[in-house]
Amino acid sequence: MTERWPELPYADWKDTRDTLHLWTQVVGKVRLALTPWLNHSWHVALYVTTRGLTTSPIPWHGGSFQIDFDFVDHVLWVRTSEGHFRQIMLKPMSVAEFYEDVMIALRELGVDVRITTMPNEIADCIPFEQDTLHAAYDADFANRFWRVLLSASEVFGHFRTAFLGKTSPVHFFWGSFDLAVTRFSGRSAPRHPGGVPHLPNAVAQEAYSHEVSSAGFWPGGGGPINYAAFYSYAYPAPDGFGAAPVKPKDAFFSKELGEFIMPYDAVRAAREPDAALMEFLQCTYGAAADLAKWDRKALECGLGERGKVRPISA
């Protein structure tokens, strides 16, 4: 329960991972349905908490409600600003059952919401109400996953302090099932081609409307990288990006994904995992910013320090 970077072997928790991915989509789509659109789809994301993941407050008829995954006591909490709540125990159950339980809890709390039940960003998928295939929940692995998110979020947050330009929060996207933080150069980007499974092209094009360097954590899920890993990419990728020398030594460029990859196991095995992850974030961002000729002097500052105001020049 206290290990900062616990083991997370994809093969051992694959079924739980796949089910949890879909559960987060059910919850995330509630926030999507009731929240005004924010640039780059930031309004749909979940946030890491001291116990799991949260929607944060969602406006509803002059008040608000919030949905929280608690991966310590393994409960889904639905709470309103009026003090009412419902609980759903997190245990092995199908996506169809979870979806029904969430909708019932919301109706009992007076929240009338309809969501699109087809999952997003998953090639071969089943509407939530029909999905009895995904029904695994290993509480230990769910807890490990959250602890990795918690540790990664701390490092990502510190990395975020060294940028003066536009930067995203550290947030969790339920579509792609990853924790991410993104920096922006301030320049517009070429129109994204789209083509993401079960995602309107307009969403991808709005998300990548501006030039970015983005990094994150992905817990595995098939494809060329079927293990937990940290990633870093640029859109549009500048010439020579894939050939740029990066650190630590275990980092490499995946041609299939078009991203730099740092295996999670390499980070947790490092003498100082936090420092190894920070080096990966800074080095890959530096490669993107230099090759794309970002105005680094205007956009960057030193890493933030506790209790110390950022110095500015006279």
Give percent above pLDDT 70 in the chain: 99
Closest-CA residue to 166 (of 216, 230, 210): 210
pLDDT level of residue 46 (50, 70, 90 thresholds): very high
Which pLDDT belongs to residue 221? 85
State yes or no: pLDDT of 98 exceeds 60. yes
What's the order of all strands across the beta sheet hosting 178-188?
171-173, 178-188, 210-218, 229-235, 259-263, 252-254
User: Residue 182 has which token pair?
Assistant: 């993104």
| 63-70 and 58-60 strand pairing | antiparallel
Give residue 156's pLDDT.
98
Residue 100 has pLDDT above 60, yes or no: yes
What's the mean per-residue pLDDT of the chain?
96
Indicate the DSSP class of residue 300: B
Q: pLDDT band at 168, cuts 50/70/90?
A: very high
Q: How many CB atoms lie within 10 A of CB 194?
A: 13
Domain ranges of the chain: 10-139, 150-299
> Which string of DSSP letters, residue by residue, matches 195-260?
--TTS-HHHHHHHTSEEEEEEEEE---SSS--S-EEEEEEESPPTTGGG---SSTT-EEETTTTEE
Give the pLDDT band of residue 224 (cuts 50, 70, 90).
confident
Measured CA to CA, the distance from residue 169 to residue 179 in angstroms comes to 10
CA nearest to 281, candidates 204, 143, 179: 179
Could you give the C-alpha distances from 40 to 135, 146, 149, 173, 207, in angstroms and in order?
31, 24, 21, 11, 4
Q: Is the pLDDT of residue 1 over 60?
A: no
CA dist 183 to 107, 160, 241, 279, 299, Å?
Answer: 39, 8, 16, 16, 10
Q: What does the pLDDT read at residue 219?
A: 96
Beta bridge partner(s), residue 75: 70, 89
Contacts for 54 with CB less than 8 Å, ≥ 6 apart: 46, 47, 66, 67, 68, 69
Q: What is the mean pLDDT of residues 57-81?
A: 98
User: What is the spatial distance between Cα 188 and Cα 236, in angstroms, rounded to a whole number?
Assistant: 10
pLDDT beyond 70 at 8: yes
Q: How far apart are CA 110 and CA 117, in angstroms?
A: 20
What is the reported pLDDT for 269? 96
Structure tokens at 97: 């059952």
Residue 223 has pLDDT above 90, yes or no: no
Cβ–Cβ < 8 Å for 219, 17: yes
The pLDDT tens digits for 103-137 are 999 999 999 999 999 999 999 899 999 999 999 99
- Tokens at 29, concatenated: 């789509």
pLDDT band at 314 (very low <50, low <70, confident <90, very high): low
Angstrom distances, CA of residue 69 to CA of 27, 28, 121, 251: 9, 11, 21, 32
pTM for the complete prediction? Answer: 0.96
Q: Which pLDDT belongs to residue 146?
A: 98
The answer to whether 169 and 283 have CB atoms below 8 angstroms apart is no
Per-residue confidence band for 190, with pLDDT thresholds at 50, 70 and 90: very high
Q: How many CB atoms lie within 10 A of CB 278?
A: 17
